[in-house]
């Protein structure tokens, strides 16, 4: 790749689809509430296994609860032989707007909506959106494993 095309790659920005990102965060909010029932009524911990042969243990803890937000921490550990390192992420639930997003992953937090690429941390241009897509995929996987109710979004009739 020549120098001119490398510079064009660095300066090129990926457009952010804010509607898509908000829709994903709204769906993740309802998926999270299905995973942590009664988080607004005082319950503070949840624990379950996922995967074939129960090889992953998930612990969820309510870290803080304010009138309009809650923060939960998810820790996923492999049982038995340790092939993967433990994952830990924090999710903020915004109850007033019914949205959820990842706000921390292991020791990293506070991502920008967009990055130039390549960058110092080698984040993807849409790192924040990618993390929230991962959250949606993970929550959907847990739902399919039977860890949450299927009816995560209630349809209202007119």
How many whole angstroms separate alpha carbon 13 and alpha carbon 5?
14
Per residue in 56-71, pLDDT (tens digit) is: 889 999 999 999 999 9
* Mean pLDDT computed over 39-58: 86
Could you tell me which residues are beta bridge partners of residue 102? 91
SS3 of 117-130: the string is CCCCCCCCCCHHHH
- Residue 78 is classified by DSSP as E
Question: Is residue 11 predicted with pLDDT exceeding 70?
Answer: no
Q: What is the pTM of this model?
A: 0.79
Residue ranges covered by each domain of the chain: 17-83+90-144
CA distances from 88 to 42, 75, 106, 124 (A): 22, 4, 5, 20
């Amino acid at each position: 790749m020549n120098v001119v095309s490398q510079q064009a790659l660095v300066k090129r920005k990926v457009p952010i689809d804010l509607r898509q990102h908000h829709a994903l965060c709204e769906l993740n909010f309802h998926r999270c509430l299905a995973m942590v029932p009664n988080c607004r009524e005082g319950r503070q911990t949840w624990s379950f296994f996922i995967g074939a042969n129960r090889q992953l243990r998930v612990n969820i803890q309510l870290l803080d609860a304010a009138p309009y937000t809650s923060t939960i921490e998810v820790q996923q550990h492999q049982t038995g032989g340790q092939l993967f390192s433990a994952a830990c992420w924090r999710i903020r639930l915004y109850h007033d707007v019914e949205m959820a997003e990842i706000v921390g992953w292991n020791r990293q937090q506070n991502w920008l909506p967009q990055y130039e690429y390549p960058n110092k941390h080698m984040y993807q241009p849409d790192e924040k959106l990618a993390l929230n897509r991962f959250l949606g995929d993970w929550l959907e996987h847990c739902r399919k494993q039977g860890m949450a109710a299927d009816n995560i979004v209630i349809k209202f009739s007119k």
